[in-house]
Amino acid sequence: MNNYAIDTAARFGDIPFVEFTKDLVTGVFDSLVEAHVLQMEEYATFVNSLTQDLSTYINNTQDGVTFDQISDFVLNYELPTVNNSDLTTVLGQLQAPTGSPTPANPDPSQPATTDTWWGGLINGLAPAVSQA
């Protein structure tokens, strides 16, 4: 008969299982939270950049693109064409919205609803965007 299982069970107290498990769970949690915070900060920076007007955005470009280069690109860009029958088909498939629209709530003392993912995102980003 093999006593390997009995020997292993007898040495179980020598293995720092509790500390290992605690450190593993804590390390994984901390790294996930850190990654999430970094993503939210980057997203807040992105959202903040969307609120700039075009001239401010162009002046803040870091890759040396001039206003004239952007203007030339926009003016010379050829948009794709859509034939009328395809456009009529697509527009015919649109449906009217159901229900009444939800009004915006600009009062910062009343946070967004948390029953949707975007409500949680708005509440999470609001402090970062208001400080920027």
What mean pLDDT value characterizes the chain? Answer: 78
- Taking residue 15's Cβ as centre, other Cβ atoms within 10 Å add up to 10
What's the pLDDT tens digit per position in 3-38? 777 777 777 777 787 888 899 999 999 999 999 999
- What amino acid is encoded at 118 in this protein? W
- pLDDT(131) > 60: no
Q: What is the pLDDT of residues 31-58, one digit of tens each?
A: 999 999 999 999 998 888 777 777 777 6
Q: Does the pLDDT value for residue 105 go beyond 60?
A: no
Cβ count near 43 (within 10 Å):
15
